[in-house]
Structure 1
């Protein structure tokens, strides 16, 4: 008793065009003749183009790898016969556009010699990964549809287990009989390929779908499936039952969701031709180098199905089938519903070529001109995806892409049923294909724009972080420099305290002020002259003239004061610590540096020439004074070396070293920075010379009691506590903090007294009794002088400082020095 046929569901829509399959299904599969030349496009599948691994002139064997997969969604390419690589580059490609595509050309040697193969008949002991790799390396892509790589499809990670494997033997399109003849004549290889897929997927059921217009194939499959649990489902013939989603709905009654894949509902679908290719790859070790193709149409004398090598020119195949070119009207690759017209006969056969239709004008007449849509609704009735073709048509004409996506344009399988029944002969499928291409292009552009935006935002964020880091480093350097300047100003203030205590009168201070004023006037004049060169305006010219007059007046006043009190008058005075000799050396070195700087000018102005002459006279007087002081040096050499002078010389040399290093770090120093570098080198040379001379006098002071480490540490601690207290008083700290700092200062003073008492150095009682104590007002005035001098130097070093700010800083310094001199303490 025959088992009851399992239930088959139906799909919406569909049509019944003339089948015309009897033209090619009456004869067995024929082997196609070996062509002299094979053209193998590198992209015969969906995904990345394969990459050639052979070179021109290289001899290859049948089945040898000639192009490797270039990415995950890609498949390799193999030589269909033995021969020589004669060309690698653009060649004709089977596409409606007629454009060229990269390809490898093989000139056949006629031997058809195979390379070494690695068959695996006992594949059941292999791991799934090994089986998948064999399928991937065989270059197998889908042979019944768009050509998706088989290994990628089998290796997909669905949201749930694949419980149903569907084998598509429908072949619903008119004229095509390649799968029909394959199921009849290669049944055992087909079933073996299904076994391999079942081994990989482990489905709960395997369903083989075949339309009822293939009785011979159905009988052959039933005979072969007698010992297997695979279910053969036969259902009524209707186009397009062979669509993947439509076949799944017919066999299982389940619809694949819009925009989804069969794997999302636990189903995997494969074509019968793909199953046979998988058998050849695993059991025989053969890569995909040939396929069964239908040659049909009334322009052929002998329509048939042939097993043909990939890359065979279409023209040679049609000549083999008896093409009558006088009858040929259209040459179509594929079927009459979903195929496309080939531009010429030179294009090669590829992996997805299941049919070549050579049609006459009576067989496939040209469609009449398209007329306006009459909204009859017949297209919607036959659509197998339940879409609204006329609405999609209007949206496509208006390029309303969002509406097209909202009406599920991408669910259209481009079967052509809507265009087939359209009474207005509107080529609807062409509109849909064009709209899909436009949408994909726009999405690609949007994706690239979004990626560019993300890269830009990431770059801006990196730049912002780098700028913040640089700003933090700049602030840290500025704070460090400010602390160093404050310490330097405090040290200078302490030095000024000692110098004022030993001065016999105020004549030297007056002369010093005149020198400072003359120097500041010259600096302001030079800066204004630079600004005048950059921006020539009447106001700037007037300011330069005013500053030049002020500088001349200051210099004349200084010259008059120096003439009335020449430097030589100070020679009779006895210098007990070498201070006069040191000062004379420093003055001479500074005058030399200024003189060299001015002598570098290529075309000096009259003012610069006058200044040069004046500097030469001052240098001559300074050198004369230095010579006189050096003659007196032996008489004073018996005196102990002044520790303060030696310490100050070391500090000066260290500070000059630091300034010089800072300027030398500049990558491209300006002319002003180069001049300043030269001046600093000369000053450093003079300071090091003075330091060496003072060091030579150090043995004379060896009899002096040595200050031990405890005493030095106590002095440093006292200075630090005093500085902390001054800083807290300036910042306005609360009385509690100030009290604790005063207590700490008192403890430091007591520790210093204790250290002095226990050290070998005698207590400096004479200095403490002779020196008058400094009151708070005097200390505040000296501190103000030090800060005013430090601020002025900072402004003078900054080339961008305003003239008004410089003038204000100079006035502040003069006023502070006057207040200090007038103070009775």
Structure 2
């Protein structure tokens, strides 16, 4: 382990990087929570007993921060149930018993895009949200006001800095034309003059190919990023690729930048050409508990994680994560379904137990923090319930990367405390 200012060096564990994407078999049952992105949950548009087809809209909302949910398979709605999400929030879920036919919805057709407004409407109808994991509704991100916040740079996030995950890398390898076409299309529709494609240096084949494909376009630059974590974090990526600093309270758009994940861009151009909404995801399945068939899979949204784990030989495990080992969310049940924002399922066993001891004041957490916070001081302020100190120490700038906890020799749960501290401040604001 090597610690540097602004992140850490992690073992990559990219053992699936050369494994081509395989279509995962159609499950007998799909579980589709009506909350699949960072925003308001949808209301089911179907009822028990309804027949559904591939790509049919089954959930929507009139809230701006929301995107519709579509059926990934043909079959019958067996149940509409209350569902508790992994973060504790509640929503409805549509349960579909698949019929094995995969009959496409007759309404599926490429959207008609004639101007900026119709483009943004199409993006929303696609059901697209940030596929890098954050799940921010894409039509909201792209719906900036060019007069108030002019954007000069589209920044493509191809860092994929978490260990094990290789799904975005496979997007570069397997669909490079769609990546480039998607970039060009978005730049044209939104009148963004420049683009930077950020790829970590541990992916030399992707860097070389993208440079070759953009050699004749002076408006697109491929940036080789340092192979340090968390290079893919939005603010870190913006600073590394452009030198611009997104200040507290600002969005990337305030610095003239829109950041989009590479898989999001490739999906959008496919939707524009086919009209098929977001109903599947490429996932990396890996981890120490995976005994066979680790790799990258095209998986229907709603597929229970248990089916993926069984297929990949993870019969015994201590922990299952959606996402990477640094920022991923631990599953409370293997029956949890794949949702739009998932890019990996990792299963681990024989996890060594760690004991939390007293802080030894070594300062490693401070040196590792990519946004220059003081995690040990934040922990102390949270333990005291000192909201004024948490504000002064700017806990809201924490990007939840986990670097502080990773480097701590005392195994203190610093990153966890930061997230709890944000909740403390939010509750305090509500009381006021």
TM-score w.r.t. the length of structure 2 is 0.95
Q: Summarize deviations over 1:303-353 as a string: whole Å, max 9, x none.
A: 10101000000000112222232xx22111111111122111110000111
Aligned equivalents of 1:201 and 1:380: distance in 2?
Answer: 39
Q: In the alignment, is residue 248 of structure 1 matched against residue 234 of structure 2?
A: no
Aligned equivalents of 2:311 and 2:183: distance in 1?
Answer: 33
Checking the alignment, whether the CA contact within 8 Å between 2:151 and 2:256 is kept in structure 1 is yes
The secondary structure found in structure 1 opposite 2:7 is coil
**Post-superposition offset of 1:437:** 1.3
The secondary structure found in structure 1 opposite 2:8 is coil
Structure 2 counterpart of 1:412: 398
Question: What value does the CA root-mean-square deviation take over the aligned residues?
Answer: 1.6
Q: 1:69 to 1:193 in 2, by over 3 A?
A: farther
**Post-superposition offset of 1:33:** 0.7
Structure 1 counterpart of 2:109: 118
The secondary structure found in structure 2 opposite 1:90 is strand
1:98-177 paired onto structure 2 within 5 Å? 101-116=91-106, 117-119=108-110, 126-157=114-145, 159-177=148-166
Aligned residues: 425
Aligned equivalents of 2:413 and 2:189: distance in 1?
Answer: 42
Q: 1:49 to 1:445 in 2, by over 3 A?
A: farther
Q: 1:351 aligns with which of 329, 334, 340?
A: 340
Q: Summarize deviations over 1:151-196 as a string: whole Å, max 9, x none.
A: 0111133743101110000000111111011111011112222122
TM-score w.r.t. the length of structure 1 is 0.50
**Post-superposition offset of 1:401:** 1.2
Q: In the alignment, is residue 225 of structure 1 matched against residue 211 of structure 2?
A: no
Q: Summarize deviations over 1:71-111 as a string: whole Å, max 9, x none.
A: 11110000001111111122353x265x7642111110110
Checking the alignment, whether the CA contact within 8 Å between 1:51 and 1:68 is kept in structure 2 is yes
Aligned equivalents of 1:224 and 1:114: distance in 2?
Answer: 34
Q: 1:57 aligns with which of 49, 64, 83?
A: 49
**Post-superposition offset of 1:269:** 0.5
Q: When you count strand as a share of all residues, which structure comes out higher?
A: 2
Q: In the alignment, is residue 310 of structure 1 matched against residue 301 of structure 2?
A: yes
Q: 1:12 to 1:284 in 2, by over 3 A?
A: farther
Structure 2 counterpart of 1:629: none
Q: Summarize deviations over 1:408-459 as a string: whole Å, max 9, x none.
A: 111100101011111110011111111111221222333xxxxxxxxxxxxx
Q: Summarize deviations over 1:647-690 as a string: whole Å, max 9, x none.
A: xxxxxxxxxxxxxxxxxxxxxxxxxxxxxxxxxxxxxxxxxxxx
**Post-superposition offset of 1:360:** 1.9
Checking the alignment, whether the CA contact within 8 Å between 2:304 and 2:338 is kept in structure 1 is yes
Aligned equivalents of 2:64 and 2:202: distance in 1?
Answer: 39
Structure 2 counterpart of 1:319: 310
Checking the alignment, whether the CA contact within 8 Å between 2:130 and 2:136 is kept in structure 1 is yes
The answer for unaligned runs of 5 or more in structure 2 is none
Larger Rg: 1
Q: 1:100 to 1:46 in 2, by over 3 A?
A: closer
1:308-707 paired onto structure 2 within 5 Å? 308-325=299-316, 328-361=317-350, 364-366=351-353, 368-446=354-432
The secondary structure found in structure 1 opposite 2:355 is coil
**Post-superposition offset of 1:26:** 2.5
Aligned equivalents of 2:125 and 2:314: distance in 1?
Answer: 36
Aligned equivalents of 1:61 and 1:338: distance in 2?
Answer: 35
Aligned equivalents of 1:187 and 1:91: distance in 2?
Answer: 38
The secondary structure found in structure 2 opposite 1:21 is coil
Structure 2 counterpart of 1:28: 20
Q: 1:12 to 1:249 in 2, by over 3 A?
A: farther
The secondary structure found in structure 2 opposite 1:130 is helix
Q: 1:402 to 1:200 in 2, by over 3 A?
A: farther
Aligned equivalents of 1:401 and 1:92: distance in 2?
Answer: 30
1:257-272 paired onto structure 2 within 5 Å? 257-272=247-262
Structure 2 counterpart of 1:293: 283
Checking the alignment, whether the CA contact within 8 Å between 2:68 and 2:127 is kept in structure 1 is yes
**Post-superposition offset of 1:209:** 0.2
Aligned equivalents of 2:149 and 2:72: distance in 1?
Answer: 39
Checking the alignment, whether the CA contact within 8 Å between 1:96 and 1:343 is kept in structure 2 is no
Q: Summarize deviations over 1:108-130 as a string: whole Å, max 9, x none.
A: 0110111132225x95xx21111
Checking the alignment, whether the CA contact within 8 Å between 1:40 and 1:105 is kept in structure 2 is yes
Checking the alignment, whether the CA contact within 8 Å between 1:96 and 1:341 is kept in structure 2 is no
**Post-superposition offset of 1:227:** 4.1
- Kindly indicate whether structure 1 or structure 2 has the higher relative contact order, using CA contacts under 8 Å at least 6 residues apart: 2
**Post-superposition offset of 1:298:** 2.0
Structure 2 counterpart of 1:549: none
The secondary structure found in structure 2 opposite 1:171 is coil
Structure 2 counterpart of 1:466: none
Checking the alignment, whether the CA contact within 8 Å between 1:378 and 1:421 is kept in structure 2 is yes
Checking the alignment, whether the CA contact within 8 Å between 2:309 and 2:315 is kept in structure 1 is no
Aligned equivalents of 1:442 and 1:87: distance in 2?
Answer: 39
Checking the alignment, whether the CA contact within 8 Å between 1:92 and 1:348 is kept in structure 2 is no
Q: Summarize deviations over 1:472-509 as a string: whole Å, max 9, x none.
A: xxxxxxxxxxxxxxxxxxxxxxxxxxxxxxxxxxxxxx
**Post-superposition offset of 1:224:** 2.8
Aligned equivalents of 2:431 and 2:25: distance in 1?
Answer: 47
Q: 1:16 aligns with which of 9, 13, 17?
A: 9
1:728-747 paired onto structure 2 within 5 Å? none
Q: Summarize deviations over 1:694-744 as a string: whole Å, max 9, x none.
A: xxxxxxxxxxxxxxxxxxxxxxxxxxxxxxxxxxxxxxxxxxxxxxxxxxx
Aligned equivalents of 2:306 and 2:213: distance in 1?
Answer: 37
Checking the alignment, whether the CA contact within 8 Å between 1:49 and 1:70 is kept in structure 2 is no
**Post-superposition offset of 1:12:** 4.1
Q: When you count helix as a share of all residues, which structure comes out higher?
A: 1
Checking the alignment, whether the CA contact within 8 Å between 1:48 and 1:70 is kept in structure 2 is no
